A and B are shown apart, each in its own frame.
Chain A
Amino acid sequence: MTSKITAKPATIETTLNEAGRLAALQEMRRDPRVWVLGEDVARGGLWGQYKGFLEEFGPERVVSTPISESTIMGAGLGAALVGTRPIIEMRIFDFVMCAMDELVNQIAKIRYMFGGQARPAVVVRMPHGMWRNSAAQHSQMLESWFVHLPGVIVVAPSSVEDEAGLLVSAIRSDDPVLFFDPKDLWPATGTMTAGEIAPIPFGRARTLREGRDLTIVTWSAIVPKVIEAGVTLAQSGVDAEILDLRTLWPWDEAAVLASVRKTKRLLVVHEAVEVGGFGAEIVARVIDQLGPANILVAKRLGAPRLPIPFSPALENQIRVTTDKIVAAAKAAVMG
């Protein structure tokens, strides 16, 4: 019998923002066709996620642009059509509304509409979510809109490791990838493998906690609160299984079904408005696939159907908090 000693791979402790920076840096070094365009990217980007790029790659590959969202998006597409691989930086998700034709009518459609002639290999980075009293036009989470849009991949990581590995996959993807950076988690720390960042495949959930009583499905900036809620719930005798979807299209239906088969209870938690949110799709699919007789509870928890208000007193009122998650989970389990 032979014994094998496997060395644990070296890890580094870093922030989610830096993890994204390292991933983009690695891919720009690896492939000269990769470049980034967006407002202020040459000075490192609004969030510092491209710090040092201008110095290393020069102004042709690190292009600070005018505040011209339509053309940032559309030029990224045009450049992809001639064989480059642009990272289209939207600065803050909410500004993508100024580039909806280019994203929805052009990027998402062009391969299909032209019978497969076009390969729009772009990554659109859109830091999203509630972020320190930034009010209605700088805090939205509309990811469900884009899951509804055929032709794109939708990615919404929540951890250091996933930000890096999924961004590597996004940059290497020949499909257009909408990459929702969780901007409230930019400073969140975590560990990732040192050295080469390996791509993380799309469509695979990560199980953050195993449990018997209830399956909580979640993603993006609210994940740390769900983890916290899981600890509190355990103290109250509720054993929650927590799945971070990580990508919303494709999403890991198999993992969710396997978990709900075991727990018989489903709670989807998202920061976005509950009405018409992606949680509704997950609940519907699970009921459809498992059959209503095999499920005890299938619920959603999201924000009320309101714009995000400015004042901390108001913002905290509508925010999905750890307490609300705990309460919803207890209600799901205890009735």
Chain B
Amino acid sequence: MAKSARPKPTGKPEPATPAATGGHNLARLHDLYRTMVRIRAFEEAALDAHKAGDIPGPLHVSIGQEGVAAGVCVNLSREDRITSNHRGHGHALAKGAGADRMFLELFGREGGYCGGKGGSMHIADFSVGMLGANGVVSGGIPIAVGAAQGLKLLRSKAIAVCFFGDGATNRGPFLEGLNWAALYNLPVLFVCEDNGVAAFTATQTVTAGPGVMARAASLGVPGLSIDGNDVLAVDAATADLLAAIRAGGGPRILHAKTYRWTGHTSTDAAAWRDPQDVAAGKANCPIARLAAVLAERGAKDLTAIAAAATTEMASHRAAAKAAPWPQPSTAFDDVQDVGAVRFS
């Protein structure tokens, strides 16, 4: 009998790649764990606040995909730039954005990253190199490529990383951007977070050919395809790819297979999904897998780290709820210097 492609829920998480753990010191494992549980706690608190009616508008969470954001961004310096997508809370947090200002933005309050003009889909923190989430699928690809080109022109040592989903690989900017990056030998890492669904549609049902890595290879962009729920594998593969990029080797792609636990948006209960798939996905939790490795290495403070993250996010949530709304006049700010309309 052919082996099922679908991982079976076993009740016991498979640990992260044991081979990869050898190269990781305990402090780095703790960092990765903390980043992942903070992302999880942030999004669980945000979902709950949304359900309570405190967050207006749609919310796209990445629960189940935390290993990719954490494993990639642990390899980046503050000067490195990232572009993200509509499911970008994890990328922002992993790059160093403040959860407090993110919560304020989700609530549309004063002091939020965008002053309440962006919301969940448009979190940006230029001070930590986070060049913005994006409401358009593949929208960040040309921007990341251009950031890499600008950095190269300025003789900067920084590089650019572009997070996008599997859905983006069927849009033109994917082809254009990879071709462009290879053509000009740009320092950019493309990260395809492949959760298997493009909004509500299984990506493989709308995608011809052998897939993203074959497409990338045909455009002259080599890379690695890994288990994105194994944060140590993500970390190790990213380190390898970035070493090549930083050495002037041109663009690389990281294809990280992962699983989205939730529906497309906060209002999508995802009842359309195969419950067996969901159970298998949840059993393959990236946080639980790293926890197993850490436990094996004798770590005893995991519960405390997770509890601290929950407490932190609850406090940011409460602060956001108590925060004032932005002054209405600020709706007129930051459009353009010349030709701006005045508050009236």
A79 to B145 Cα, complex, angstroms: 8
- Chain B residues with CB under 8 A of A203: 338-339
- Looking at A12-20, A150-158, A219-227, A285-293, the stretch in contact with chain B turns out to be A150-158
Which residues of the other chain, A, contact B176 by a CB distance below 8 angstroms?
66, 68, 70-71
User: Are A150's CB and B180's CB within 8 A?
Assistant: no
User: Within the complex, which residue of B81, B122, B126, B183 is in contact with A113, where a contact is CB–CB below 8 Å?
Assistant: B122
Q: A269 → chain B, closest Cβ, in Å?
A: 23
Is B32 engaged at the interface, CB distance under 8 Å to the other chain? no
B335 near A118 (CB under 8 angstroms)?
A: no
Per-residue A-contact encoding for B129-160, CB less than 8 Å = 1, 0 else: 00110111001011111111111111010001
Tally A residues with Cβ within 8 Å of B: 48
Inter-chain contact B335/A77, CB cutoff 8 Å? no
Stretch of B42-50, B107-115, B285-293 with 4 or more beta carbons under 8 angstroms from chain A = B107-115
A332 close to chain B: CB less than 8 A = no
Q: Is the CB of A173 within 8 A of B338?
A: yes
Q: Does A106 contact B (CB under 8 A)?
A: yes
- Residue contacts A-B, CB under 8 angstroms, 16 given: A71-B145, A74-B177, A78-B150, A79-B149, A84-B153, A84-B154, A117-B114, A117-B126, A118-B124, A118-B132, A150-B335, A150-B341, A153-B338, A153-B339, A175-B337, A249-B339
Q: Would B142 and A105 count as touching, CB distance under 8 A?
A: no
Q: How far is the CA of A75 from the CA of B179 in the complex (A)?
A: 12
Bound-complex Cα distance A165 to B180 (A): 33
Instruction: Name the B residues within 8 Å of A60 (CB-CB).
Output: 152-153
Q: In the complex, are the beta carbons of A105 and B118 less than 8 A apart?
A: no
In this complex, how many residues of chain B approach chain A with their Cβ under 8 Å: the count is 51
Please state if B147 and A79 are interface contacts (CB–CB under 8 Å). yes
With A71-B142, A114-B132 as given contacts, are A82 and B151 in contact (CB-CB < 8 Å)? yes
CB contacts (< 8 Å) of B122 on chain A: these are 113-114
A112 to B147, Cβ gap below 8 A? no
Residue B296 lies at the interface, judged by CB distance under 8 Å to chain A: no
Given contacts A79-B150, A113-B122, A118-B126, contact A106 B156 (CB under 8 A): no
Q: Are B143 and A106 in contact (CB under 8 A)?
A: yes
The answer to whether A73 has its CB under 8 Å from any CB of chain B is yes
Q: Check if A117 sits within 8 Å of B149, measured CB to CB.
A: no
B239 shortest CB reach to chain A, Å: 23
User: In this complex, which of A35, A75, A86, A118 has the most chain B Cβ atoms within 10 angstroms of its Cβ?
Assistant: A75
Chain B contacts of A105 at CB under 8 A? 135-136, 139
Contact between B172 and A81, CB atoms less than 8 A apart: no
Q: Do A101 and B150 touch across chains, with their CB atoms under 8 A apart?
A: no
Q: Which of B160-200 contact A (CB under 8 A)?
A: 160, 172-173, 176-177, 179-180, 183-184
Q: Is the CB of A78 within 8 A of B154?
A: no
A76 within 8 A of B: yes
B179 lies within 8 A of A66 (CB): yes
Does A61 lie at the interface of the complex (its beta carbon under 8 Å from any beta carbon of B)?
Answer: yes
Q: Tell yes or no: A80 within 8 A of B by CB.
A: yes
Given contacts A153-B339, A249-B339, A250-B339, whether A114 and B124 have CB atoms under 8 Å apart is yes
Chain A residues with a Cβ under 8 A of chain B:
33, 35, 60-61, 63, 65-66, 68, 70-71, 73-84, 86, 101-102, 105-106, 110-118, 150-153, 173-176, 202-203, 249-250
Q: Is B117 an interface residue (CB 8 A)?
A: yes
Q: A71-B177, A82-B156 are in contact. Are A63 and B184 (CB under 8 A)?
A: yes
Please give, as numbers and ranges, the residues of chain A lying within 8 Å of B173 by CB-CB distance.
Answer: 70-71, 74
Min CB–CB distance B188 → chain A (angstroms): 10
Q: Which residues of A contact B139 (CB under 8 A)?
A: 74, 101-102, 105-106
Please determine whether A74 and B115 come into contact, CB atoms closer than 8 angstroms. no
Are B147's CB and A73's CB within 8 A?
A: no
Interface pair B146/A114, CB less than 8 Å apart = no
Write the chain B residue with the least CB distance to A79: B150
The answer, among A63, A79, A151, for a CB contact under 8 Å with B335, is A151
4 smallest CB-CB distances across A and B, nearest first, come from A74-B142, A78-B146, A75-B146, A79-B150
A251 and chain B: residue at smallest CB distance: B339
Q: Are A65 and B117 in contact (CB under 8 A)?
A: no
Q: Is residue B334 contacting chain A, with contact meaning CB distance below 8 A?
A: yes
Q: Which residues of A contact B81 (CB under 8 A)?
A: 81-82
Q: Determine if B333 is an interface residue (Cβ-Cβ < 8 Å).
A: yes
Which A residues touch B152, using CB under 8 A? 60
For A111, the chain B residues whose CB sits under 8 A away are 334-336
Q: Which of B153, B335, B338 contacts A202 (CB 8 A)?
A: B338
Say yes or no: A175-B150 contact (C-beta < 8 A), given A70-B173, A105-B136.
no
Give the residues in chain B near A106, CB-CB below 8 Å.
134, 136, 139, 143
**CB–CB B147/A202 < 8 A:** no
- What's the nearest-Cβ distance from chain B to residue A83, in Å? 6
Considering the chains assembled together, what is the distance between the CA atoms of A86 and B147 in angstroms? Answer: 11
Most buried by A among B81, B152, B160, B173: B173
Whose C-beta in chain A lies nearest to the C-beta of B144? A78
Q: How many Å lie between the Cα of A100 and that of B153 in the bound state?
A: 26
- Chain B residues whose CB sits within 8 angstroms of the CB of A116 once the complex forms: 115, 333-334
Contact A113 B338 (CB under 8 A): no
Residues B338 and A74 in contact, CB atoms below 8 Å apart: no
The residues of A that contact B113 with a CB separation of less than 8 Å are 114-115, 117
Q: Separation in Å of the A61 CB from the closest CB of chain B?
A: 7
> What's the least CB distance linking B96 to chain A, in Å?
15
Q: Measured between C-beta atoms, what is the minimum distance from B328 to chain A in Å?
A: 15
Complex contacts, A79 vs chain B, CB 8 Å: 146-147, 149-150, 153
Q: How far is the CB of B154 from chain A (nearest CB, A)?
A: 6
Instruction: Decide: B118 and A66 in contact? CB cutoff 8 A.
Output: no
Contacts A70-B176, A115-B114 given; indicate if A83 touches B336 (C-beta within 8 A).
no
Chain A residues whose C-beta falls within 8 Å of the C-beta of B125 in the assembled complex: 117
**Interfacial chain A residues near B160, Cβ < 8 Å:** 78
Cross-chain contact A70 with B153 (CB below 8 angstroms): no
Of all chain B residues, which has the CB nearest A249?
A: B339
Residue in B144, B146, B172, B333 whose Cβ sees the most chain A Cβ within 10 Å: B146
